[in-house]
Amino acid sequence: MATPFKVLIIGGGIAGLSLALILEAYGFQYELLEKHTEVAPRLGAGVGLTPNGARILDQLGVWDQVCEYGSSVDAGDAVRPDGSSLIHNDNMGMWLEKL
């Protein structure tokens, strides 16, 4: 007989919250520890998701909720360390949506 255990998750960022969703879906006990008073505080950070990331969030069952708070991309830019433009793509949003 297997010994019951609890998974300890340190950090309520994307990885910690994703792990918590997976463990919950499979019925594992876990405890999530976060140093901030809120899990996922609004610290001014943004998250950009490519199609692979969106697919994972859909598999975790949270994609629809993410879409309620996000906005789509129209164009995309890649910049050099000095801030000058390396690549500009006016069709980035359309390409990502198709993927």
For 49-77, the pLDDT digits (tens) are: 778 888 888 998 988 998 888 777 788 88
Are 21 and 62 a contacting pair, CB within 8 Å?
yes
Statement: the pTM of the whole predicted model exceeds 0.75:
no
What is the pairing mode between strands 6-10 and 29-33? Answer: parallel
Cα separation, 36 vs 12, whole angstroms: 9
Closest CA to 43 of 16, 12, 10, 83: 12
What pLDDT is stored for residue 23 in this prediction? 95
Mean pLDDT of 66-91: 85
Which helix (H) or strand (E) segment is 15 a member of? helix 14-25
To 5 degrees, how large is the angle CA 91–CA 97–CA 99?
105
24 has a pLDDT exceeding 90: yes
Range name among 7-11, 70-74, 79-83 with the lowest pLDDT average:
70-74
